[in-house]
Amino acid sequence: MERTGAMKVVMDAFETPPLVRMAARGLVWPFQWLGYKGDPDMPPVPRALTALGPAYIKFGQVLSTRPDVVGGDLATELRVLQDKLPPFDLAVAKRAVESELGQSVDEVFSAFSEPVAAASIAQVHRATLAETGEDVAVKILRPGIERAFQKDVDAFYFAADSIEFLSPASRRLRPRDVIEHFDGVVTGELDLRLEAASASEFAANTVKDAGFQVPEVKWEYSARRVMTLGWAEGAPMGDNAALDAAGHHRHSLGSRVLELFLSHALRDGYFHADMHQGNLKVAANGDIIAYDFGIMGHIDEYTRRVYAEILYGFIQRDYLRVAEVHFEAGYVPADRDVDEFARALRAVGEPIFGMDATRISMGRLLSYLFEVTERFGMETRTELILLQRTMVVVEGVARSLDPEVNIWDVAKPVVARYIEESIGPRALGKDLMKTARVLMRFGPRLPGLVEGALIRQAVADEPVKSRSWSLLILGGVVAAGIGFAAGVAVVLLA
């Protein structure tokens, strides 16, 4: 960072105190010549992150969506990391296609362009299928990308272990667990067959979503290192001038990006977890087109309900209920005070609701939220990392389209609809029906389980203890519960 000049730029962007700035640069400056040189034609921060490797580029992509955190100039510089990195040679790309598909490029495609986009993992070419004449996008992994990512991840593991060893207070953040989660996500991203499956599932989930498109997967032209999708024509989401020239209403687009993300996360529990501007286009008819499905997020039904209740509590400014949900879900240790936590949440929420969206400092807000999590001993929840990261990215995309887009105003109808459908009486009926089906499926095995437990006790020549009696009682409860659950469910659903 020091060698490329990026360290000064970053500290300026984050308004680092002068004393910290002097100490940091004083320690690093003598060793700057050991750092990677990078491409001198690039601006300092993109140059440094690109030289460091693909995992660091991912981090830069997230920052590129948050001009309110890093400043407008730096955010604009970082946008090159989304899809405008230096490409690899066309001949190398063609050899990869031939190796993966078992046919020459000329046999499969009647036209095959130079790279039209290049990011940290792969690059994309526009091509035409020889058989049908259809235009397609061909995504090809970078040569040696697996080894490069593993090098970065190994460094992250070393850093996480060092942090946990040197700073016991950091263990609540679970640095190593976070890196393990990141490692798993990246491993999936490096197999384009899995990405094709993700794109197919995402398309099936969202087929009825108005104003949203997912390109079709061409399975017969896809493999581990090559994926082919239908070509998506549209203006880049990150080019406001192009959007204006095409007559699109940017405030509506920003609101719809947020609505779509929340709908997918809450309704389906399956969402695009890399929704920066480089992975979004706007079609001529105003539809939002998503692509690059290497990172997808999944959250279970219970977590979705918790997430919805927290969001809805903030929207309703019911901070006590938000606090209670955190305790009920185990996000805050049970020995902390729920009322005190509610007051801390009020300090987070009230400035947001009482202030124009353009004046909210996301940097200060995140800083205070970190203080709150530290004070109340909240641990990192690895199952929520992608959800929280995507929330930050998507809001940044929306506000880059129009700084006056307010996430809470957009979220209210989406969350209210989910609450109504998933937490009300009808949802209770569905839950009871699911419970009844499970009980009926395992019901025939219960007598055998009870008998087996009794036989084991007899063979061991031990008295029947409370555990066996518990099993007997459970069998009776289950038998009665099957009929009760099914009956209640039918009444409620009717």
- Exposure string of 79-99, with b = 16+ CB inside 10 Å and e = fewer, is bbbbbebebbeeeebbebbbe
pLDDT at 358: 60
Round to whole Å and give the CA distance between 207 and 290.
13
Contact 160, 361 (CB under 8 A): no
Round to whole Å and give the CA distance between 470 and 457.
14
pLDDT tens, residue by residue, 61-114: 888 877 767 777 888 888 888 888 889 999 999 999 999 999 999 999 999 999
DSSP E strand boundaries for 196-282: 212-213, 226-230, 235-236, 270-272, 280-282
Which residue numbers in the chain have pLDDT < 70?
Answer: 68, 354-368, 370, 424-429, 431, 439, 442-443, 446, 457-494
pLDDT at 90: 95
Does the pTM surpass 0.85? The reply is: no
pLDDT tens, residue by residue, 424-469: 666 666 767 777 777 677 667 767 777 777 777 666 655 545 554 4
What one-character DSSP code corresponds to residue 217? Answer: B
> For the chain, what are the domain ranges?
6-83, 146-187, 234-423, 425-493
Which amino acid is located at 221 in the chain? Y
Structure tokens at 172: 């609540």
Alpha-carbon torsion, ordered 218, 219, 225, 226, to 10 deg: -20
One of 209, 274, 292, 402 is an active-site residue; which one? 274
Strands 212-213 and 288-290: parallel
Residue 183 falls in the annotated catalytic set: no
DSSP 269-323: SEEES--SGGGEEE-TTS-EEE---SSEEE--HHHHHHHHHHHHHHHHT-HHHHH
pLDDT at 141: 95
Round to whole Å and give the CA distance between 247 and 232.
19
Provide the angle, in degrees to the nearest 10, between the axes of the packed helices 145-166 and 54-64.
80
